[in-house]
């Protein structure tokens, strides 16, 4: 198993990696104007969304070079609001990393309070640059951070875009199948009359949890699961409900391992190589190693690079497990 951790700017470090040597890239770049990583050269602190997008397009052009012809990119990205003329963001006791010493001005053409639309700006820019834009996966966060705003809903999702280098690409869809939910037998098992449709659906989910011995979050309780193979599985759906996890050390934008397991299982066979050019605390490397894939990662912050290196070092390799945990109906 080969693990290579590069310290420095993603664009520069990617140039040192062999062309067509990687199956899949699973990554989450710094979001626009959201966190101050406090490192010179960091991405996300650009004056305008266009500068930010251009910088990422260049990085992902280099990612495309290092991907095999049948390679893929799983790109997690969230949105931002305009700063509304504020130049800084105050210290937040619950989340110190949200405090920011700089805030770019409201971009031309937008108003204070506007949602910028960064994920789709980036997706379209990458598509124009030659990527095949294949899918927008919604990461639904059941434990999203509460917000104090009273004039819109609390944000509880982010995007994971699936992009490919060619029109035909490696995608092991069987490796990420999920448990089939039968509306007829399971989901609509309750009575309609007394409870109405919503309660009926919830009762259905309860029955299903009991049947498969699952918690409401979809976790197995053990024991005999009435599971009889392929007929109970279906192709994975494009809304992924995964709870966020706490910080790793001082890092505050950490992938939940369960979120990226399917990306690695579908995007890279055992023994192939996975890339994360913005590896932060190294979660992609941890999951890649556990699933017996090679890994190459880059990180600009020496502190996070150390953290990633320690985490990946102590990760044990295991055989891949198909994660069938999705209970959404
Ligand atoms: C959203 S975080 C990634 C977190 C990661 N997915 C994890 O699970 O820990 C983005 C990371 O990109 C790093 N970064 C920012 N600018 C960079 C650059 N120019 N080159 C490489 N890494 C950079 C930040 O230091 C941060 O750790």
CATH number at residue 167: 3.40.50.150
The finding on whether 236 has its CB within 6 A of some atom of ligand 1 is no
132-158 tens-digit pLDDT: 999 999 999 999 999 999 999 999 999
pLDDT at residue 205, rounded to an integer: 46
Same domain, 198 and 171: no
Same domain, 34 and 143: yes
Query: Which of these ranges, 38-42, 89-93, 233-237, has the smallest mean pLDDT?
Result: 89-93
User: What is the whole-number distance in angstroms between the Cα of residue 203 and the centre of ligand 1?
Assistant: 42
Number of the ligand 1 atom closest to the C-alpha atom of 304:
27
The finding on whether 63 has its CB within 6 A of some atom of ligand 1 is no
Number of the ligand 1 atom closest to the C-alpha atom of 29:
10
Q: How confident is the model at residue 1 (pLDDT cuts 50, 70, 90)?
A: confident
Average per-residue pLDDT for the chain: 83
Query: Which of these ranges, 43-52, 92-101, 236-245, 311-320, has the smallest mean pLDDT?
Result: 92-101
Domain boundary among 213, 231, 249: 231
Contacts 24+ apart (CB under 8 A), 90-98: 95/145, 95/252, 97/35, 97/36, 97/252, 97/253, 98/34, 98/35
Same domain, 123 and 250: yes
The finding on whether 297 has its CB within 6 A of some atom of ligand 1 is no
The protein residue whose alpha carbon is closest to atom 4 in ligand 1 is 280
- Are the C-beta atoms of 286 and 257 separated by less than 8 Å? yes
Determine phi and psi for 237, rounding to 5 degrees.
-85, 170
pTM: 0.83
Same domain, 135 and 56: yes
325 domain-assigned: no
Same domain, 191 and 262: no
Same domain, 223 and 90: no
Q: Average pLDDT, stretch 260-278?
A: 98
The finding on whether 32 has its CB within 6 A of some atom of ligand 1 is no
Predicted confidence (pLDDT) at residue 261 exceeds the cutoff of 90: yes
Predicted confidence (pLDDT) at residue 31 exceeds the cutoff of 80: yes
Query: Which of these ranges, 2-6, 106-110, 308-312, has the smallest mean pLDDT?
Result: 106-110
320 domain-assigned: no
The finding on whether 251 has its CB within 6 A of some atom of ligand 1 is yes
Same domain, 83 and 114: yes
Same domain, 192 and 287: no
309 domain-assigned: yes
324 domain-assigned: no
The protein residue whose alpha carbon is closest to atom 10 in ligand 1 is 30
Q: How confident is the model at residue 316 (pLDDT cuts 50, 70, 90)?
A: confident
Same domain, 163 and 271: yes
Number of the ligand 1 atom closest to the C-alpha atom of 284:
8
The protein residue whose alpha carbon is closest to atom 3 in ligand 1 is 280
64 domain-assigned: yes
216 domain-assigned: yes
Question: Which is higher by pLDDT, 192 or 233?
Answer: 233
211 domain-assigned: yes
Question: Which is higher by pLDDT, 86 or 219?
Answer: 86
The protein residue whose alpha carbon is closest to atom 23 in ligand 1 is 300
Same domain, 50 and 146: yes
pLDDT at residue 37, rounded to an integer: 84
Q: Structurally, how many domains does the chain consist of? A: 2
User: What is the whole-number distance in angstroms between the Cα of residue 187 and the centre of ligand 1?
Assistant: 41
Same domain, 110 and 54: yes
321 domain-assigned: no
- Of 93, 180, 170, 164, the C-alpha closest to 132 is 164
Number of the ligand 1 atom closest to the C-alpha atom of 255:
8
Same domain, 40 and 100: yes
pLDDT at residue 105, rounded to an integer: 80
Letter string b/e over residues 281-314, b meaning 16 or more CB atoms within 10 A of that residue's CB: bbbbbbbbbbbbbbbbbbbbbeebbebbbebbee
Number of the ligand 1 atom closest to the C-alpha atom of 42:
16
- Of 278, 294, 272, the C-alpha closest to 11 is 278
By residue range, what is the domain housing residue 187? Answer: 179-231
């Amino acid at each position: 198993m080969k693990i290579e951790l590069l310290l420095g700017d993603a664009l520069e470090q990617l140039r040192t990696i062999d062309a067509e040597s990687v199956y899949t890239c699973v990554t989450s770049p710094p979001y626009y104007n959201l966190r101050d990583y406090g490192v010179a050269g960091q991405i996300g602190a650009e004056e305008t969304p266009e500068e930010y997008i251009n910088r990422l397009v260049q990085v992902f052009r280099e990612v495309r070079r290092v991907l095999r012809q049948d390679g893929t990119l799983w790109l997690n990205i969230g949105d931002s609001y305009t700063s509304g003329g504020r130049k800084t963001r105050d210290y937040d006791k619950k989340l110190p990393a949200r405090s920011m010493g700089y805030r770019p001005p409201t971009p031309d053409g937008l108003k204070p309070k506007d949602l910028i639309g960064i994920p789709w700006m980036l997706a379209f820019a990458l598509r124009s640059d030659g990527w095949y834009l294949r899918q927008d996966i919604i990461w639904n966060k059941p434990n999203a951070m509460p917000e104090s705003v009273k004039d819109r809903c609390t944000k509880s999702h982010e995007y994971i875009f699936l992009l490919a280098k060619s029109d035909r690409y490696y995608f092991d869809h069987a490796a990420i199948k999920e448990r089939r939910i039968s509306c007829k037998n399971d989901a609509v098992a309750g009575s309609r009359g007394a409870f109405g449709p919503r309660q009926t659906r919830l009762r259905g989910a309860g029955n299903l949890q009991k049947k498969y011995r699952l918690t409401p979050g979809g976790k197995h309780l053990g024991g005999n699961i009435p599971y009889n193979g392929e007929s109970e599985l279906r192709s994975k759906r494009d809304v992924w409900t995964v709870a966020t996890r706490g910080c790793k050390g001082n890092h505050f934008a950490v992938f939940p391992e369960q979120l990226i397991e399917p990306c690695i299982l579908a995007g890279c066979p055992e023994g192939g190589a996975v890339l994360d050019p913005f590896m932060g605390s190294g979660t992609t490397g941890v999951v890649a190693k556990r699933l017996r894939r090679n890994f190459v990662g880059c990180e600009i912050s020496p502190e996070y690079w150390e953290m990633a290196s320690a985490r990946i070092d102590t990760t044990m390799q295991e055989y891949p497990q198909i994660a069938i945990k999705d209970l959404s109906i």
